[in-house]
Chains A and B, each alone.
Chain A
Amino acid sequence: MDTRIIVVTSGKGGVGKTTVTANLSACLAKQGYSVVAVDADIGLRNLDVVMGLENRIVYNLVDVVENACRLQQALVRDKRVDNLYLLPAAQTRTKDAVTPDQMRYLCNSLRGSFDFVLIDSPAGIESGFRNAALCADEALVVATPEVSSVRDADRIIGLLEADGKNSINLIVNRFRQKMVDKGNMLDVNDVSEVLAVKIIGVVPEDDSVVISSNKGEPLSLGLQSPAAKAFKDITDRLLGKDVPLSLPQGEQGRGFLAGLMRMLRL
């Protein structure tokens, strides 16, 4: 299988790029693929914390591109699942520490060694984003159903298209059906209409995401929750499986009473 390099990006910060990267990486690895999650957010690294690997970092991405270590030395292997690796970002440097040529070299080094390379892009549209997206074959754009996030996602999609990226999929994160029903949140259809790219998944707002991030244990590695199911579905769609897109019920759809009310259509 050829290596698929996928950049996870958004434009706006705080929409869940890192969570998506960590969970999709874990999910893909669980299905038997060799995966490396690359933290391209130089200076503001978080992926290591969300994946629970922060204590085992010795070298980082900048060390690799500056030839201070070999690539294999910088890769942190996840002990909970086979074939899952993290290439952490440097925390003490800035985005300028990596040039486009160095990023190209890094991606070429990873290509061929893994089935999937997931690159966690920094927020913004400056050099950090450009480096992260430079060698990606595909892009996953993460947006929350808020006007500001959708506008930033639109900007990012425009830039990705301008760079010749044809495979751009959208993940709508932190979706709350209850708020949509009350008219307080954009519907998935609204988001889809504005952004005009394929929606590959809708992840509901879910407390378990916060808990798992704080614990450093990606949902996909254990916990059962609506968000974990959404990440599993996205992974399957990434792998080309035909999984129908269904809107998650999130916090309102669980429990006996909620089920009964749904049955009675109340």
Chain B
Amino acid sequence: MILMTDEFQATLKGERGCLRLVVPEGPPDGELVPLIDRTLDDAGKIVDGATIILDFQGRPIPGGVVLEIMEKTLLPRRLTVREWRTFDGKSQEMLKRMGLRTFERDPLEKKGLAGFIKNPPSPALILQRSLRSGQKVEHDGDIIIIGNVNEGAEVYGTGSICILGRLCGLAHAGCSGDESVLVVAGHFTTNQVRIGEKICYHDSKAPWWGKTVRMVVKGDQIVVDELAF
């Protein structure tokens, strides 16, 4: 289980036989290299010569910063980068143009079979704070958020997503294609929810607006149940 109380530290996690370095979205570009350097230093010898995934979440990464990261942090430690991961479209394009490998879902993963065939399920991510606009969490597994997901915030999980507070932003459960997962929201006030490849739209006229709900895929659509305990 990964417990995240301080979201804005760069963190190293294990993912599919390599290390994933999650870089926070907050710091300015100029502070990225020292932050990554410090994190790798703290990790000690386990990172030397390792294969890593560099995960910049939703932040844009200028080409100059990419080169600086390579020169000052990766090459001295003989690190191999399996993937440069960002959800910023322009940065993805730029990384591809530079000939670097970016985040691509493999076909097996898209069908939701990857977890069953290749790897055991990852531990749940428990986030003990609210997500503000522009902040994004993505996790290979279930996600529990003890807080709100504000409008403009995004949560992507390959498993189920449970938000104890208000859901105003975007939740995408089963984002690798698994549609057997569910989304639970303590206070539902969002316009869109995604499960697997399905998307459903809502507005404030929906009878479950503002209620505690559970959403699952049944047949070809996402079904919303109001939860009463």
Contacts and interface: CB of A to CB of B under 8 A. Distances in A.
Given A154-B151, A158-B135, A162-B8, A196 B28 contact: no
A151 B30 CA distance: 26
B150 to A, nearest CB: 5
Contact of A151 (B7, B8, B26, B152): B152
Contact of A158 (B28, B133, B148): B133
Contacts of A130: 28
A40 B158 CA distance: 43
Given A154-B133, A158-B133, A196-B130, A147 B25 contact: no
Contacts of B168: 194
A43 interface: no
B152 A162 contact: no
B30 to A, nearest CB: 7
Nearest to A153: B133
B2 to A, nearest CB: 19
A253 interface: no
A151 B133 contact: yes
B132 A154 contact: yes
A216 interface: no
Main secondary structure of the interface of B (DSSP, over half): loop
A161 B25 CA distance: 12
Interface residues of B, number: 18
Nearest to B28: A130
A151 B151 contact: yes
A155 interface: yes
Interface string B71-109: 000000000000000000000000000000000000000
Contacts of B27: 162-163
Contacts of B151: 147, 150-151, 154, 194
A162 B25 contact: yes
Contacts of B30: 100
A155 B28 contact: no
A100 B30 CA distance: 9
Interface in B146-205: 148, 150-152, 168
A186 to B, nearest CB: 12
Interface in A109-167: 125, 127, 130, 147, 150-152, 154-155, 157-159, 161-163
B24 A152 contact: no
Nearest to B151: A151
Given A100-B30, A151-B151, A158 B134 contact: yes
A242 B27 CA distance: 35
Contacts of B148: 194, 196
A196 B129 CA distance: 11
A125 B134 CA distance: 11
A193 to B, nearest CB: 8
A104 to B, nearest CB: 12
Contacts of B26: 158-159, 161-163
A125 B132 CA distance: 14
A159 B150 CA distance: 14
A152 B28 contact: no
13 contacts: A100-B30, A147-B151, A151-B133, A151-B150, A151-B152, A154-B152, A155-B133, A158-B132, A161-B132, A162-B8, A163-B26, A163-B27, A194-B148
Interface of B: 7-8, 24-28, 30, 130, 132-135, 148, 150-152, 168
Nearest 8 CB-CB pairings of A with B: A162-B26, A158-B132, A154-B133, A155-B133, A155-B134, A162-B8, A154-B132, A151-B133
Interface of A: 100, 125, 127, 130, 147, 150-152, 154-155, 157-159, 161-163, 194, 196
